[in-house]
Chains A and B, each alone.
Chain A
Amino acid sequence: MWTRLLQRLLILGLMLLGVSLLAFLVPYVSGGDPVRTILMSRVRDLDVDPAAVEAMRIHLGLDRPLAVQYGAWLWQALQGDLGYSFASGRPVASEIGHALGVSITLALTALGIAAAVAIPLGTLAATRPGGTVDSATTLMVQTFVATPEYWLAPMGILVFALHLGWLPSAGWTSWTALVLPATVLSLRPMAYFTQVTRAAMMDVLQAPYITAARSRGLSMRQTVMRHGLRNGSLPVVTFFALWLAGLLGGSVVIEVIFAIPGMGRLLYEAVINRDVPMLQGGFVSIVALSILINTIADMLYVALNPAVRSGHAH
C-alpha cells in the first residue's frame, strides 16, 4: 500500500514537470511573437507599437533565454509561488483557486445528478434484462452519449430560459444559474454510469451469495438493497473519479455558452492571450488534483471492497 503511494507521488512529480514544460512551450509552438499576441489581446487590434512590444518583453522577462525563464518559474513554483498573470497582473494562484472552485462546484453537481439517476436506473435495468425499463434505458444511454453539448446547451437555454422563463440563461450569481449547465453537463456521464451500473449489477446478481440470499427467503428487492447495491456501485466510484478529474479542467463549451467563470474559460483565454504563467499554473494544478482524486478513489475502492483490501482479489 505504501509503495503504491510512493510510486504515485513519484509519477506525480514527473508529470507535473512535463506538463509545466509543455504549457511553457505552447506560445512558441504556435508561431509568431508571443509578446505581440499578448499586446494584441489587450487592445483587440492588430497594429501594435513595436516600442511597446519591446518594453513589454523586458517587463515580462521574456527577453531572457527560455531555459532561464523556465528555471525561474520552477524555482518559484517549488516555493509555492505560481507568479502573476500576464493579462490581469493578478496572482495566478488566486485566479486559479477561484476558477477551480467554480468548476468543481459545477462538476460535482453534474456528476451528483448523473449518479443519482444512473445508479437506480442501472440497477432496475439489471434486475429485468430485456424488459421495458432495460430497453428504455438503452435508448436513453445511446441518445445522451450521442447528443453534443454545444447543441443541447442552446436548446436548454431556449426552452427553460427564454420560453418558460424558469431559469437564468447565463451567469454565476445564484444557485438557479447552476441548474441548466449542470444538467446539460450531467447527461453524458449519466449515460456511462447507467451502463456501468447495469453491467456490474448483472454480474453481481449471478454471484453465488445472491442465490444464497434469495434461498434464505429474501425478496429480490431486499437482496438487491442489502447485498447487490454496495457491490454493484463499486465501478461507479471509479468512473465518478475519472469524470471528476476530467471535468476539473472545466468544460470550455459549457462555460463559454453559460458565461461561467470556471477553469475551461480561464485556460482557453490563457491560450488565446499567451498567458504563460496562467497556462503553467493551471495545467499543473489540474494534473496534480486529478492524480490526487484518482488516488483517493483507489483508496475508497479498497475500503469498499474487502477482497481488494486483504489482497485476495482475483
Chain B
Amino acid sequence: MKRYTMAAVCVTALATSAMAQEGKTLTYADFQTVQTNWQMASDDSYLGSRAGCFETLVRLNWQLQLEPGLATSWKQVEPTVWEFTLRDGVKFQDGAPLTAEAAAGALNHLLAAEMPARPFSPKLIKSVEAVGEKVVRITTQTPSVLLPAQLAAPNTTILSPAAYQGATIDPVGRCTGPFEIVEVKPKEYLKFKRNDNYWGGKPALEGGMVVFIPDANTRMTQVRSGEADIARLIPAHGVKQLEGAEGIDLIQLKTPRVTELLLNNKKEPLNDVRVRQAIQAAIDGAGIAASVYEGTVTAAASAFKPDDPWAPKGIKPIYDPARAKALLEEAGIRPGQLQLELLAYTARTELKDVGAIIQAQLGEIGIKVNLRVAEYTAIEPQMISGDYDMALMSRGYLTDIADPFGFLTADYSCGGSYNMSHYCSEDVDALIEKASSLIDPQARYEIYAQLAKKFFDEAVTIYLVNETSFDARSERVKNYDMHPLVYYLMTKDLSVE
C-alpha cells in the first residue's frame, strides 16, 4: 500500500512539473525606467531590447561578434553604400510582414527624430531606402566600415509601421522579438508574453515582467525574497552581502568601462610628460581597487580591459613612488611647490573616496591636491573650456557599438567631442583616420592597441581601474549571462526550473 502511495505521489509530482513548464514566467528588477516614452535615441530602446521585444537588423553576440538579426547578410557595395538583405518570413507581432519598406520607414523615423541617435544620426547617415521587397540600402555621409555594428545598437530597432504615430512610438504588440510587450507602467513595471510565432523558434518562457526599482538594496532583496529572479546592477557592498546567500548566484561581467584620472594635457605643468608620468607612478591603482571597490574591480593600465581583442600587450599598472619623485625632480619641480585641483562628481559616489586616496598619494611625492566634489554639470564647463587640472571620471569606451572607435575619436582626437584631456597629436589623428577605413576588424584592433599603448607611455590619462558589474540571479534561472553591452536579457532560450 505504502509503495502505491509513493508511486502516486511521484506521478502527481511529474504531472505538475510538466504542466508548470508551460506556465513559467520570469521577473527581473531593473534600475532603469521607461523615461522618454520610447524615444529610440534614448536608453528606452535598450530597455525594450532587454525585454526581448525590440530587434535590429544585426545582432551582437556575447563574444562581441556581429551576427545576422532581422537581416541575414550585408555588404558594402560602394565606399559609402551598404545593402542589407532582410530575413524571409519574419512577421511583426501585429501580423504585418517585415518588408524593406517597413525597415527603411523605421530607420527614417529615427533619422527624423528630434533627438538624433548617436550611432545612427543624420550626421553619419545620408539616406535609407528600400530596394525591392527585401533589400535596405543605406548611404553614409563618409565611407564607413562600422555601419553593421551601428545597426546592432538597440537605437536602430525595427518596429511595425503601425508603431510609429507621428513623432511618438507605441511598441505594444509591434515588435519582432521572442517576447511581446503587453503592458507598460513607465515608473513601475513592464509586462511581456511569449511570441509564439517568433522567427527564431518558440521561446522557452511563457512571459514575465520587468519591475523598475531605483534602489539597489531593494533590488537585492527582491531576488533574495524570490519576488524577482534576476536583479541588475548590484553595487560593491551588495556583492559581499550576497556572496553567501543561499539559492543566489552572483554573475559578474568585466564591463567596457574605466575609472580614470583625466589630466589637462594643455595646461602647465601637466603639459610636461614627466610630470604626468610622475603622477602615474605615484598612484596605486591596485590599492584603490582593493579598498574603495572592495576588490570587485582590477587595477588598469589601459582604458581597455585585458581580454579585449584590442587590448595593448605588455603594459601593466605602475606604482613606484621613488620613480615618481625622481621624475618630478627631473621636471624641475620641488616637493611642495606644485598645487593641483582635482575634480570629482557626485553621481558616482565612489569617486570622492578615490579622490581622497589620490590626494594622499600625490601628497607623498610633494604635490598638494585640492579635491573639489560637485555635481557633474557644475564641473563640466570647466573641463570643456580647459580651465582645470585633473578630474576623476567613469567612462565607457564601447558607447553604442562594439568598437572603441567612437571613444578614441571623441576623447583623443584633436577636435574630439569629449576631448577633456585637451590632447592633440597629429600621429594619433592619422592613426584614427586610418582605422576608419579598415574593414578588417583585426587590422583596426591593432591600431587601437597601438593607441592605447601610446596613451599609457605618455601618461595622457591615468587609468585607475577597469570596472566590473554584477547581476544577482536566482539559481533556478537557466541560460542567463550578462551581455557585454547589456543589449539583451530576455532571450528565446532563457528559462527557469
Report A's interface with B, CB cutoff 8 A.
Answer: 30-33, 36-37, 39-52, 55-56, 59, 87-90, 154, 157-158, 161-162, 165, 168-173, 256-259, 261, 265, 273
Contacts and interface: CB of A to CB of B under 8 A. Distances in A.
B212 interface: yes
B55 to A, nearest CB: 20
Interface in B188-211: 188-189, 211
Among B36, B123, B213, residue most surrounded by chain A Cβ atoms (within 10 Å)? B36
Given A42-B115, A261-B185, 13 more contacts: A31-B375, A36-B377, A37-B377, A42-B43, A47-B418, A49-B417, A52-B115, A59-B115, A161-B221, A169-B218, A170-B213, A258-B218, A259-B215
B418 A42 contact: no
Interface of A is mostly: loop
Contacts of A173: 188-189
A40 B375 CA distance: 13
Contacts of A261: 185, 187-188
Contacts of B123: 49, 51
Indicate the size class of the contact surface on chain B: 35 or more
Interface string B225-250: 10100000000000000000000000
B69 interface: no
Contacts of B189: 171, 173
A38 to B, nearest CB: 9
Contacts of A31: 375, 377-378, 381
A172 B214 CA distance: 14
A89 B224 contact: no
A161 B188 contact: no
A89 B225 contact: no
A97 B399 CA distance: 36
Contact of A43 (B42, B218, B411): B42
Interface of B: 32, 34-37, 39, 41-43, 114-116, 118, 121, 123, 168, 185-189, 211-215, 217-218, 221-222, 224-225, 227, 375-378, 380-381, 393, 395-396, 399, 410-411, 417-418
Contacts of B41: 42-43
A262 B336 CA distance: 52
A42 B221 contact: no
B221 A157 contact: yes
Contacts of A51: 116, 121, 123
Contact of B116 (A32, A52, A273): A52
7 contacts: A36-B377, A49-B121, A52-B118, A88-B36, A169-B218, A170-B227, A171-B211
B140 to A, nearest CB: 16
Contacts of A257: 215, 217-218
Contacts of A39: 115
B114 A55 contact: yes
Contacts of A88: 34-37, 186
A165 B226 CA distance: 9
A41 B116 contact: no
Contact of A265 (B34, B39, B214, B221): B214
A162 B225 contact: yes
